[in-house]
Amino acid sequence: MKIAVFPGSFDPITIGHYDLVKRAIPLFDKIIVAIGINSQKKYLFPLEQRIAWLEEVFAEEPTVSTGSFEKLTADFCKKEGAQYLLRGLRNASDFDYEKTISQLNAIVGDGLETVFLISPPQYSHISSTIVREIIKGGGDASPFLPKQIKI
Ligand code: ADP
């Protein structure tokens, strides 16, 4: 079984994340979209809300499940029997950051492989950060959110 973990904050999940998972479905037997909990980080939406959204968005996908974890991503992968991490690349700064994390996870995770998918041009400007700014400013973030999510 090829199992991948897609870790992130998903604060909130965007159409960029959704597109990534949809494109990865044919590549893996199972994908676990998992929220990493960092106690130092301030989130806009509570964990329960973010998980509920993930569950709703992927409800029709039998090979996609959701979860959450504290501490190391590599340990969560081990616990779930996942051999792969899934991440997205939007631009060169994503690459610089992701390269280091991926090399680190390969060591800490004992050969854990990161699979990267390049975002399509129409989604490469979309981030949870931008969505949060729109929401905080009282704007309409719906063009950037999966249709199941109403904020
Ligand atoms: P983190 O807090 O770990 O950065 P995010 O929820 O912001 O978590 O993102 C998780 C992953 O989703 C990252 O690999 C990021 O590159 C990817 N991602 C985010 N937005 C997009 C997008 N618009 N297109 C493709 N990948 C994306």
DSSP 85-132: EEEEE-SHHHHHHHHHHHHHHHHHTTSPEEEEEEPPGGGTT--HHHHH
128 is catalytic: yes
- Flag whether 13 is in a domain: yes
**How many structural domains does the chain have?**
1
Full residue range of the structural domain in which residue 50 is found:
3-144
Ligand 1 site, residue 20, Cβ cutoff 6 A: yes
pLDDT at 151: 86
Ligand 1 site, residue 128, Cβ cutoff 6 A: yes
d(CA 7, CA 74): 10
Which residue among the candidates 9, 50, 90, 119 is catalytic per the annotation? 90
- Flag whether 150 is in a domain: no
- Flag whether 151 is in a domain: no
Specify the CATH number for the domain of residue 61: 3.40.50.620
Q: How confident is the model at residue 1 (pLDDT cuts 50, 70, 90)?
A: very high
Centroid of ligand 1 to alpha carbon of 32 (angstroms): 15
pLDDT in tens, 3-23: 999 999 999 999 999 999 999
Work out the average pLDDT over 121-149. Answer: 97
Q: How confident is the model at residue 124 (pLDDT cuts 50, 70, 90)?
A: very high
> Which of ligand 1's atoms lies nearest the C-alpha of 124?
23
Residue nearest to atom 15 of ligand 1 (CA): 88
Ligand 1 site, residue 50, Cβ cutoff 6 A: no
pLDDT in tens, 40-95: 999 999 999 999 999 999 999 999 999 999 999 999 999 999 999 999 999 999 99
pLDDT at 79: 98
- Flag whether 24 is in a domain: yes
- Flag whether 59 is in a domain: yes
Ligand 1 site, residue 146, Cβ cutoff 6 A: no
- Flag whether 149 is in a domain: no
